[in-house]
Every structure is written in C-alpha cells, then in structure tokens.
C-alpha cells in the first residue's frame, strides 16, 4: 500500500516537472523570437538589410521583413512586430 502511494506521488511530481520544463522551454523560445524580431526592427530603422534566417540553440528562426513589419517564424509559431 505504501509503495503504491509513494509511486503515485512520484509519478505525479515527475509529470508536473516535465510539464514545467516544457513550458519553460516554450517561453524561452518565444522570448528568443521576440528578441530577434526587435533586433530586425532596429536593423530596418538603421536602413540595414533584414536577416532571413537565424539559428540559435539548434532552433531555426525564419524572418520576413516588409513595410516596416517583421515576422519571425519558428516551430509552427509566429511573432510579429
């Protein structure tokens, strides 16, 4: 009885930790995309060319710049400024 209770608690904590880790990774990737978009916006302001592809932490960010708008795509997600 005690072993099954301990196993259940351990499994619940393990699943919660896994979810938290996944959530933290998604938040960090979104933050990276925002930083890239802001950087490209500054490049446009300074009349510099927009970069079209950036790889950070083994993640590829695809960038589109048009009419002072910047769109960054990564892992089926998108950030626009």
Query: How many domains does the chain contain in total?
Result: 1
Strand-pairing partners, residue 60, are 55
- State the residue range of the domain holding 37: 2-80
Local confidence band at 28 (pLDDT 50, 70, 90 cut-offs)? very high
Local confidence band at 41 (pLDDT 50, 70, 90 cut-offs)? very high
pLDDT at 49: 93
> Is the pLDDT confidence value at 50 over 90?
yes
Q: For a pLDDT cut of 90, what percent of the chain falls above it?
A: 73
Q: How far apart, in Å, are the Cα atoms of 77 and each of 5, 10, 48, 80?
A: 40, 33, 25, 10
Local confidence band at 14 (pLDDT 50, 70, 90 cut-offs)? confident
φ and ψ at residue 34, rounded to 5 degrees: -65, -45
C-alpha 58/C-alpha 64 separation (Å) is 20
* Among 43, 46, 47, 80, residue whose Cα is nearest residue 61: 80
């Amino acid at each position: 009885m005690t072993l099954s209770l301990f196993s259940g608690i351990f499994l619940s904590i393990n699943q919660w930790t896994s979810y938290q880790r996944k959530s933290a990774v998604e938040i960090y990737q979104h933050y990276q995309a925002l930083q890239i978009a802001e950087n490209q916006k500054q490049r446009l302001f300074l009349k510099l060319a927009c970069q079209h592809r950036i790889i950070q932490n083994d993640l590829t960010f695809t960038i589109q710049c048009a009419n002072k708008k910047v769109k960054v795509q990564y892992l089926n997600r998108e950030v626009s400024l």
